[in-house]
Structure 1
Amino acid sequence: MASRADDGLLKGERQQRILGRLASEGRVVATELQAELGVSAYTIRRDLDELADGGRLQRVHGGALAMARSPVATTYAGRGAQSVAGKREVARTAASLLVPGGVAILDGGSTALALAEAIPPGFTGTFVTHSPPAAAALAAHEGVEVVVIGGTLERRAMVTVGAQTIEAYKSISADVLFLGVWSLHAEHGLSEGYHEEAEVRRVLLGRADRVVGLVTADKLGTVAPFRYGAAAALTHIATERAVPAATLAPLEELGIHVIR
């Protein structure tokens, strides 16, 4: 038999009310729902947990976010075929932040690969990467020294992962990190589709003075299963010129510099 809340709403009706608020506002706060629906904090937490378990929303501390799952393909080849023009645009923009003679960490991913290919002729500097495809592209630039980080190859992402990779990065302090981004949400933060890759990226966030997220338009405002850092861990975002200002405003409010 269906359960009924203190205010007479069936549980299903109450949860539909929550989903309706999410659809219109993109987020809900547990204390506000408690006051609006006239039920206990425990009831609201249970409703949010049940909806999260059913894949209807993304649970965060103090409430929930509307589910906007990242459209990123689950294979390396598939990701390489997505948003090709956008990735090239992001790469050209990010290349403006390169420091001649400096040390940069280049993450894995197809946008990072596009950045390796976009390095201007005659550039000199050092790149550290755990991405074999990126290392090969970097090697085409005569003035670039390439340091390759070893570990266990994650074939779905074509990067090395695991304890060896993480320990190697802990000994490096770079001028700039160019971070491949699977999903970026102002409130939920940075998240990733593969657990091991997320653990490497968690460490990368603390290894450079500037942290530049390489973010195509389709990854903004989305979430993925494995969170590894706050959005504010980024100092810069390189993205596409066509992204609406309203989409970027919540990130700029966090103090992130947007370049495009």
Structure 2
Amino acid sequence: MLASQRKKRILDILGAEKQVLSGKLSQRFGVSEDSIRRDLRELAAEGLLQRVHGGALPVSAALAPFETRKNVQIDSKRAVSRKAAALIQPGQVVIIDGGTTTTEMIKQLPSDLPFTAVTHSPGIAVGLVDFPLVDVILIGGRLYKHSVVTVGASMLESINRINADLFFMGVTGVHKNAGFTTGDYEEASVKRALSARAAETVVMASQEKLNSASAFAIGPLSLASTLVVDGELDAELSALLKKQRVTVI
């Protein structure tokens, strides 16, 4: 089998099984693990998978620039956004992450819902300007342009003064082994810090984020109290979430 044929087959297996292990692929194709690792390196360089220790996971499709991502799985994002918006109760303090899914979520909010929104996303803050009963607290810092959110030491210092009811956290990947992931190291740290300031963390995952992974870990699936998804989860991921006591909507 040619290397090109083998790599195509690896992607087929990855799509079906949601992960591949170098050792098992070596046995399956009758080639050395060095050959398999080379295949995985080349596929990762093409952006076709996410390498992890011992193998690879499906790569998240949610790593494109912000303007591009706004139009990815838009119907799926709207579906999860409607369900997520209904979780906000009057009078709550709610941290809202940046991202295209949370941008859709605030569009679903009732105009007469009174709550306090805390965000490090200038776009989310501006999007809430026309909601007269929403008090908006915008956390400053260095602007991370890919997700249009602030990061950095001053941002982290500011959030330490907040005790929120809910945190709506954006992710680029949800995977049974990798947990919640994103494409930037500093942003992953910020998301962990925001989650620590809320009583409950809600993750909204449109279809392209399920069973995929990005380079930087935010935390295990147990970091979330609620996962809002569009459609049915596969049996293995569903069972794991139930074991971790994560409510699935």
TM range (shorter): 0.7 to 0.9
Match of 2:131 in 1: 141
Match of 1:173 in 2: 163
- 1:81 and 1:177 map into 2 onto residues whose CA distance is 24
Q: CA deviation at 1:187?
A: 1.2
Find 1:187's aligned residue among 157, 177, 194: 177
Q: CA deviation at 1:202?
A: 2.1
Which shows bigger deviation, 107-116 or 72-81? 72-81
- 2:88 and 2:170 map into 1 onto residues whose CA distance is 16
- 1:196 and 1:91 map into 2 onto residues whose CA distance is 25
Counterpart code for 1:59: V
Q: Deviations over 1:110-150 (max 9, x none)?
A: 11111111111310010100011110111211111000000
**TM-score, with length taken from structure 2:** 0.81
Match of 1:130 in 2: 120
Query: Structure 2 regions of 5+ residues with no counterpart?
Result: none
Q: Which is greater in Rg?
A: 1
Counterpart code for 1:144: V
Q: CA deviation at 1:194?
A: 2.2
Find 1:95's aligned residue among 54, 69, 85: 85
State the identity as a percent: 30
* Equivalent residues in 2 for 1:58-77, closer than 5 Å: 58-60=51-53, 63-65=54-56, 67-77=57-67
- 1:189 and 1:48 map into 2 onto residues whose CA distance is 25
Q: Secondary structure at the match of 1:198?
A: helix
Counterpart code for 1:220: L
- 1:80 and 1:28 map into 2 onto residues whose CA distance is 30
Q: CA deviation at 1:93?
A: 0.3
Aligned length: 232
Q: Please state if 1:163 is matched with 2:156.
A: no
The 1:25–1:116 alpha-carbon spacing in structure 2 relative to 1, beyond 3 Å, is closer
Match of 2:220 in 1: 230
Q: Secondary structure at the match of 1:166?
A: helix
Q: CA deviation at 1:237?
A: 0.6
Q: CA deviation at 1:167?
A: 1.6
Counterpart code for 1:58: R
Which shows bigger deviation, 177-186 or 51-60? 51-60
- Measured on the aligned residues, the alpha-carbon RMSD in Å equals 2.9
**TM-score, with length taken from structure 1:** 0.78
